[in-house]
Amino acid sequence: MKKWNLIIDVATCHDCNDCFLACKDEYFENDFPPYSVAQPRHGHRWIDIMRKERGQYPKVDVSYLPVLCMHCDDAPCVKKSKDGAAYKKDDGIVLIDPEKAKGQKGIVDACPYGAIWWNEEKNVPQKCTFCVHLLEEGWKEPRCVQACPTGALRVIHAEDSEMQKIIKSENLEVYQPQYKTSPRVYYKNLYQYTKCFIAGGVALRDTDECAEGAKVTLIGVSNKTIDEVTTNNYGDFKIDNLEENSGRYSLEIAYPGYTKQTLSIELETSMNLGTIFL
């Protein structure tokens, strides 16, 4: 049968928080039995926007990572709950029964993504419900997806076989794969949040001009080429999607009529090499 999946593009999330506000608008002071009771005014962020700054001035970027219930196929909250308080529907959505879950604070701690919140007043754990009450009314997407102005959030309602093709064709990843929970929330361009980059600029010392079109090659162990880019009209380059603390690299810079430069780099986190003169 078809199941619900969510795709989040890190590259197009601008931290506008429209998704968070739409969620708050839908659930504050509103009960949707049997799926949820009202979300409190303050404290809960059923879709939480994480932020990460990479690099050093002036080569800096900021990425935003929306994190919510991953609607895992192997959900720790389901395993932790008693009497079926947390359960997974056949359509892939994971829910917490607000009546059965009363007093079960351990469900909050079971989530490795920190996506479950404790409602002190109602004495229940709460989280994203994928707006299941709206889907049952015929909606094609939850409120957060509807509210996203950049298209960073996208719903896919598909058979698992079809979803696997989409994952492969769009190079989608799951967040924190080491948890092995089989999430149904997938990320595009996740490397902009989880990986690091090497950036810099290339200039010509004799003319004091930018070296547009210089070839920059990153070489790893065993003389293996990791990536190759060309500097832009400002002489700038950026090589991204590199593992943090991944060790030593060589960076070769070649430009017609000038001696090739080779730099040795010990990569720990995103770094700006500054201006490299040929």
* Domains of the chain as residue ranges with CATH: 3-193 (3.30.70.20), 196-277 (2.60.40.10)
- Indicate the DSSP class of residue 39: B
How do residues 37-77 score in pLDDT, each as one tens digit? Answer: 999 999 999 999 999 999 999 999 999 999 999 999 999 99
pLDDT of res. 94? 98
**Mean pLDDT in residue range 188-196:** 97
**Mean pLDDT in residue range 114-136:** 97
Confidence (pTM): 0.93
How do residues 164-185 score in pLDDT, each as one tens digit? Answer: 999 999 999 999 999 999 999 9
Other beta carbons within 10 Å of 249: 18
| Cα–Cα dist 85/225, whole Å | 52
Of the candidates 127, 81, 83, which has an alpha carbon nearest to the alpha carbon of residue 104? 81
Average confidence score pLDDT of the chain: 97
Nearby residues of 17 by Cβ (< 8 Å), 6 or more positions away? 49
pLDDT of res. 221? 85
**Mean pLDDT in residue range 200-215:** 96
